[in-house]
Amino acid sequence: MTKRSVGSWIVIALFTVSGVLHLVSPGGFLWLMPPDLGESTNLALVYVSGVVELACALGLLMRWRWAPLLTVLTLLAVWPANIWYAFDQLGSENTALTVTAWVRLPLQIPLLWWAWKSPTRVTSST
């Protein structure tokens, strides 16, 4: 079996922690969401993203073939919210929060790569 990279473990850990936090404390993520969608829609999206993140983490951990693709698609799906939040923070008095919002954006690139390169089980066709 192929050895799992440190990057793969990072994605698994981040998705596990984030997924649990989305479900346990969804209100902590609502401020990251664009207000135009409405609070009930945003709350539903927070819950759905938490469940999907946990499914991705479990899939990567178990080396299921679909997991790298779903993880990449999940990262791409949340990127627009991260971009919106970064732009929303421009002009904010909280410089640390603004910097953090902008630093997060390029950090998704290695996460995408590590997710895509996470090893999966090779199934035999016999």
Mean pLDDT of the chain: 90
What percent of the chain has a predicted confidence (pLDDT) above 70? 96
Over residues 66-119, the pLDDT tens digits come to 999 999 999 999 888 888 888 988 888 888 888 988 998 999 999 999 999 998
pTM attached to this predicted model: 0.85
Mean pLDDT of 59-67: 96
List, as one string, the DSSP characters of 5-73.
PHHHHHHHHHHHHHHHHHHH-THHHHTTS-GGG-HHHHHHHHHHHHHHHHHHHHHHHHT-TTHHHHHHH
Kindly tell me if the per-residue pLDDT of 122 is higher than 70: no
Mean pLDDT of 23-44: 85
